[in-house]
């Protein structure tokens, strides 16, 4: 058996492992940041929806108050005219106009009351939420119950957390970018060598990697494949010890003696 070929693929695995180790330093951070951003979007939408509603209330209220003011002004002028009415017919016509304006005022007032009522209801829900928070009964709080100030505080906290994690991630990326690009260059070179010298092993290696097995080449550990812990038949041990390889029957990984990894490590450093 040609042992050089297996050495080449072990070296490739060793380089890939190093990149993997560097990336594991940031493991979880990109996912955590993503999750925080989703929460931020969710709460921001909630706050915006509430702001939109109160803005609508404010505008409607303004419009209704103006209507009432106009109606009152009209009523006043109609009443002034009534004092000058020359006959009953004129007087009654003005009375009808006054009545109409009074109805307009009543309608506007009902709408104003509806708004106040809705606002009170929202306040009550938030008070309920505040009470539940005080009692630590978070799972009973509905979206509407979340108090405005608590939402704002949550948003603020989430933004701070996301910013901190982002900075942490960026500093890791900056610190490791040099090492990563050096390793990537080495990997490119090594892949070319393996491609030329041990094409079949490389396609086996890539096949495993594409199947999401990052450690395609593993050490023999306690007479077993260290990828899946399946025992390696005794009659294959000698071959492995001599520097050969064994394809695990269970997981398909390439099993080699640990000294090959040691050799690959000393070659790289």
> What's the sign of the alpha-carbon dihedral 189, 190, 192, 197?
positive
CB under 8 Å to 57, separation ≥6 — which residues? Answer: 115, 118, 119
- Give the nearest distance from C-beta 249 to Zn ion in angstroms: 8
- Give the nearest distance from C-beta 201 to Zn ion in angstroms: 16
Q: Which is nearer to Zn ion, 141 or 225 (CB)?
A: 225
- Give the nearest distance from C-beta 242 to Zn ion in angstroms: 20
CA–CA separation, 119 vs 73, rounded Å?
29
CA–CA separation, 101 vs 222, rounded Å?
96
Q: Look at residues 46, 66, 44, 64 and name the one whose alpha carbon lies nearest to residue 56.
A: 64
Among 146, 202, 248, 256, binds Zn ion (CB under 5 A): 248
Binding mask 216-245 for Zn ion (x = CB under 5 A): ---------x-xx-x---------------
Q: Check binding of 250 to Zn ion (CB under 5 A).
A: yes
Q: Which is nearer to Zn ion, 43 or 225 (CB)?
A: 225
Q: Which two tokens stand for residue 92?
A: 């009654």
Q: Are strands 224-225 and 254-256 parallel, antiparallel or unpaired?
A: unpaired
- Give the nearest distance from C-beta 34 to Zn ion in angstroms: 33
Q: Which is nearer to Zn ion, 152 or 241 (CB)?
A: 241
| Interface segment toward Zn ion; rule CB under 5 A; list 25-33, 131-139, 164-172, 253-261 | 253-261
Q: Which two tokens stand for residue 179?
A: 């090492």
Helix/strand/coil for 218:
strand
Q: Which residues bind Zn ion (CB under 5 A)?
A: 225, 227-228, 230, 248, 250-251, 253
């Amino acid at each position: 058996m040609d042992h050089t070929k297996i050495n080449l693929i072990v070296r490739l695995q060793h380089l890939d492992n190093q990149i993997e180790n560097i990336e594991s330093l940031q493991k979880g951070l990109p996912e955590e940041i993503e999750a925080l951003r989703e929460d931020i979007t969710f709460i921001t939408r909630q706050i915006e929806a509430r702001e939109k509603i109160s803005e609508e209330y404010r505008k409607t209220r303004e419009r209704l108050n103006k209507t009432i003011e106009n109606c009152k002004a009209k009523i006043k002028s109609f009443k002034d005219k009534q004092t000058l009415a020359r006959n009953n017919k004129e007087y009654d016509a003005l009375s009808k106009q006054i009545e109409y304006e009074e109805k307009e005022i009543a309608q506007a007032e009902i709408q104003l009351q509806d708004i106040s009522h809705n606002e009170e209801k929202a306040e009550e829900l938030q008070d309920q939420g505040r009470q539940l928070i005080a009692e630590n009964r978070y799972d009973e709080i509905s979206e509407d119950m979340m108090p405005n100030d608590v939402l704002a505080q949550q948003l603020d906290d989430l933004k701070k957390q996301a910013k901190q994690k982002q900075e942490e991630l960026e500093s890791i990326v900056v610190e490791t970018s040099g090492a990563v690009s050096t390793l990537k260059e080495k990997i490119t070179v090594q892949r070319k060598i393996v491609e030329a010298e041990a094409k079949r092993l490389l396609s086996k290696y890539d096949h495993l990697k594409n199947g999401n097995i990052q450690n395609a080449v593993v050490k023999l550990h306690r007479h077993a494949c260290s990828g899946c812990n399946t025992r390696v038949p005794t009659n294959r041990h000698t071959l492995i010890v001599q520097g050969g390889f064994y394809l695990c029957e269970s997981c398909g990984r390439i099993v080699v003696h640990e000294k090959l990894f040691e050799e690959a490590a000393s070659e790289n450093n």
